[in-house]
Structure 1
């Protein structure tokens, strides 16, 4: 299949979601200052994200500060029909989503070999930057804002788990949780969202610290579907519990200020879950793992409940982990405390 044929097919397969805009490549080229390095926001395995400025009404590029700031995700490598299908799936699914805790997809560009997605811009960047990069731009999150972020993430998960296609994000981690100017958290980076039957274990990679043990024990996931019942609903339930585990790791990062995996530490303390799990249920010792930078900002009861919730999320047996609705319910109680 030629690129032109693929592009033509892609245009016909893109659902006409309300408010989803089609951008010309030259517009996004100008909006991002020709994808200038100074406009770069981040880089993933297959894509690079740039900051740009557009007029949402006319879909034209504007001068900095003269329009709406957007995040333009440009696919670096486009060389297969499968890539085209995954790109289409992301547009067709997230083009219909309008939830306060999921980053909004504004539009796309499909022109020749170019595949780009235009998302809303999140001014405070990723959760990982605020937890692990301290400086004038990335300020340390307060206890209240950490719980607010955790609650926002839980609400986003609860919503996604009830949608018809029920996507699974294999790159669920703190660097893919974005924060707006009011410290509202939004789930992002669904470039690896796949239908359950198409999950590819090669995409796990360095994110293994966030991956549930049962997923890893099945040969990095390639036998998950074979090990489970053939009924897709039950397979999805299994994967949802894996995602709850990932949330638990993020919650531990929020409580401790430490990375889920830190290669700069000695091998026996690199994995956060392995390090802290033995003391999460200890009434006194769990306080030793709390981030010193938020000392005095939380009550004992609130911290205790948060630690116990994280412990439930990273339970070895998937059936013991709470669902996303329970996460929301418990985090709302902790927020009240």
Structure 2
């Protein structure tokens, strides 16, 4: 547990000893049973909210209790090998003169804001809700880089789906499409509801969010709307890429089947000639039979091939 306390124009940094009446504090801790029990005794947070902190993978939510607000948002980050996206929960309590953030996984954006608050007394002087705005703004901005990278990947996939002319790399492209759709689904599921959380904090008249701070949360709402629109655009592009991929596959399959059918058609008369004259060669004079059969075998496929080429079937 680490604590920042603003009092008399100065910021003190320490632990639980700084949590006392007067001043404004920011408490950042992990969801350990000891820390959650201490928070319950000190701030009288609702047991259901503390239970949500103890259990990971909660849905995004905004809960208003008698003396506090409870928010759950998610920070989406790529795994170490960039093979998938991981969702890390960030819980926050906002009470009179106090901000409490709870997270099991280190959060680089929160750490940066925490350090800024420790060195700049003006941030906490504007109230704990302003520090919470700084955290949410940093987390939301961090998602832009992630979504932009996925958008670039989707555009490359769409170009590849349209330009391919052979079966080479088809399985790899299909895998890329499915991976991108899974990532966009996770982003849509986790990030889109966060807009409602920020919108709730931006409403005028909140008892724990001053109006001068609420306007900043509206800026975060605007950023989240842009993120959601970009995610939806990426999903639409992926759906188009999937349709184009299936269309290309069907077209190539149809072309291959047409060529195989024409080849079969070319050789079908040869089977007839071989079968017929194999049993009935004696109906022709000996000096004529062999030349007739050889001429039929040579001329028929050449004539059919030339006819199909003339008709542009081959």
Normalised by the size of structure 1, how large is the TM-score?
0.28
Q: Which structure's residues are more often helix, by fraction? A: 2
Normalised by the size of structure 2, how large is the TM-score?
0.29
Rg (Cα) greater in structure: 2
